[in-house]
Structure 1
Amino acid sequence: MNKNQDYEIFPDKFRIIMTGTTFAFFAIAIGAITLLRTNFVWKILAVIFAVLFMIAAVRIFKELWVKTPAYVINATGVTDNTQKVPVVVPWAEMMKIEMVPNNAVMQIGILAQKTVTSQTEKTHVLTKNLFTNGNMAFYSVMIDGFKYSKKHFLAIFEELQRQGVQHNPKILVSGYNVGREK
């Protein structure tokens, strides 16, 4: 990769396919309850949950055709396109980039000085952030490792580290040993 280009991050297609297929399988399996001789209430619940799982599967599969990268790392900073309104965190505003465990997956958290200005927006972002990352810390940008293979996730962290040190040497970069394979 040319050092002056944008580093665009898209979710792994394999992860999308596997997750979407799992949700679709659950939808079909739960929907199959309606074919059994069972109470009518169980059949209604099965239909409701089957529809919910199928909606989730469709939403997940839609990510296969997304043209906009989820995140962009470049000389300006990090752009998070996963929000309704994209969040741009300039390198000068960043204080810390860290890889942290959260439940079953790793996450990359970027802590910045100020990315939102209005109190209403801060409240909304803080609420979403605390829900998303398990109440661990307030991050301006959170990259969830669930959507990426281990190799891809580590490459994202290394690119953040490389560009972070290049554009703002004051950024504290904190890794986490996840069994790097070379």
Structure 2
Amino acid sequence: MAESEVREMPERGNAPLVRLDPWAETDFDLLRRINAPEMTEHLGGPETEEKLLERHRRYVDIVGKGTGRMFSIVLLPDLQQVGSIGYWERVWHDETVYETGWGVLPEFQGRGIAAEAAVAVIALARAERTHRYVHAYPSVGNPASNAICRKAGFQFVAEFDGEYPPGNAIRCNDWRVDLTTELTAEA
């Protein structure tokens, strides 16, 4: 899919229709809004402006590196940016896999937007035909993100002790989707 293309997901049940737009230079304000304390509670808290600028640069540049993709989540039909999602390479248990993560602004949470976007991003990662798995690692104390994993068709693998950001201990769940099989998300 070209950088200027978007991915629209058909409506399922009461879930809103979303579109994933490739992350752009103009999305820095969205990243700032996602960096709020209530959005980063399970991720060690808000990042500094410097770290946020570094993150934004990584998001913009990732496509050119061929190691993943980042998107803004756009709510249709209003074309309102409501969050971010993406996938990127990482080594997990001696295997290169994709990791995914998302954030939906508080006023749009609880509507199925993140699950809809996760299904879309899994389809995009699957189409790359690069890695077998995509993983999500929400905190065990984040019931909303763990529910999104279940709803989007991830399979629970195990709990583990991790660090995020570096130096911040966090207990996480490892959720995984096999990209070589078709996704069966909950309705």
TM (norm. structure 1) is: 0.29
| Structure with the higher helix share, 1 or 2 | 1
Which has the higher Rg, Structure 1 or Structure 2?
Answer: 1
TM (norm. structure 2) is: 0.28
Q: Which has the higher contact order (CA 8 A, sep 6+)?
A: 1
